[in-house]
Structures are given as structure tokens and as C-alpha cells.
Amino acid sequence: MTRCLRQSRGFTLIEVLVALAVFGIMAALAYGALSQTLLSAEILSDRMDRLQALQRTMRILTDDFQQLSPRPVRDEIGNGFGPALDTDFNSGFALELTHGGWNNPIALPRGTMQRSAYRIEEDELIRYHWRVLDRTFSNEPVSVALIDGIESIVFLFMQTDGEWTEKWPPANQAGPLGARLRPRAVQIVMTLENEGELTRLIEVAP
């Protein structure tokens, strides 16, 4: 019996180099696609975080203004009362207001009304609140950064005659009555570094 022996042949150097080159190209393409996918996912995650921060900021502002209370607050010295809603920039804040809706799930010895304030620090919108309404100099506020990348924020207030003003209480409503006066609506104009100008109209509960 005659056996036919076939000589086995290995890969040549050129074939190995070609295979390595093809593998390298495929690996590079796969890595590029993976990197692009990861980058897109990171960008999407950042945008979702930004959107959530914007929604949270607007929700907090809306809740505060919708539950605006006509309750003035005693000043730190105890000589007088500050308006329930106050845009006196001498206080160091863009705006101060008294509002309801302060949840008390564990029945702490306090009410549900809260005194809050807003101002921009660097490029962040900061919300402050005090644990008491009639505060003294020893009552330090609690601060929370709501959103960054903010360039400006403007509050406009609708008076009973339908006219809009940036100052509250209005100049013609000084005294005790003005201190308890609430606007019919509030318009917020917020300018952000990347998103541009955003506007929100909030009706104040009667």
C-alpha cells in the first residue's frame, strides 16, 4: 500500500503580517466605536443631570412662590417687621419670602412656614432658609446650591392692577399693608451660560 504524504505548510511571514494588520485595524475600529459610545453616553448623562438640576430649581422656585404667605417677619434687631415678600437688596439677597409647605415628617417643634432667600454667588443660584421666621443674628441660614452656570435672574411681580414691577412691595404700598401684600403672579427670567434665557410664569395662590 502506498501512502500519499502531503507536506503541511505554515503561514508565511507576509500572511502573518497581513493578518496582524487586519486585526489591528479591526481592533482600532472597535476601540474607536467603543470610545465614541462611551463619550456619547457621558455627554447624555451630563445633559440629563443638567436637565434634572434645571427642573429641580424651577420646581423649588415654583413651590415657594405658589405657597407665598402674607406673614411678615421681625427683623434681627426686633425693631420692626420685614415684608412677607421683599426685594430690598440691602439685605444682601436678591429676594426674601415667607412661604408654606415646609414638611415636618417627624413632628419637630416648628410650624410649616419657612423664610427663604435667593441670590447668585459666583455662577451659582443659592437658596437659603432659616429655621425660624423671626430670626436674630444668632440664627444662621442653611444654604443649598441649586444650579451653576447662571448669569442672571430677574423676578417680575404682577400687581393687582395687572402692571409688572421688579420691586416688592411696590413703592406706593409702604407700611403694614404693603408688608403683607402678595403679587398676583411672579415671572422668573433666568439667563444661563449654555441654555440661554429661560422664563417661568407662576400664579400665586390666593
Query: Which amino acid belongs to residue 3?
Result: R
Length of the chain: 206
pLDDT of residue 204 exceeding 90, the answer is: yes
Fold of 60-203: Pili subunits (3.10.610)
CA atoms of 168 and 84, how far apart (whole Å): 10
DSSP 131-150: SSSS--TT-PPEEEEEESSE
Percentage of the chain surpassing pLDDT 90? 54
Of 3-7, 78-82, 92-96, 173-177, highest mean pLDDT: 92-96
User: Please, what's the largest Cα pairwise distance for the chain?
Assistant: 124
- The region of weakest confidence among 100-114, 115-129, 178-192 is 100-114
Q: What is the mean pLDDT of the chain?
A: 86
- The region of weakest confidence among 2-11, 121-130, 187-196 is 2-11
Of 85-94, 99-108, 113-122, highest mean pLDDT: 113-122
CA atoms of 203 and 206, how far apart (whole Å): 9
**Ranges assigned E (strand) in 40-184:** 73-74, 81-82, 85-86, 95-99, 114-121, 124-130, 142-147, 150-158, 164-165
pLDDT tens digits, residue range 148-187? Answer: 999 999 999 999 999 999 999 998 887 888 899 999 999 9
Q: What is the pLDDT averaged over residues 26-44?
A: 73
Domain coordinates of the chain in residue numbers?
60-203
Top pLDDT among 137 and 100 is at: 100
CA atoms of 147 and 49, how far apart (whole Å): 11
pLDDT of residue 51 exceeding 50, the answer is: yes
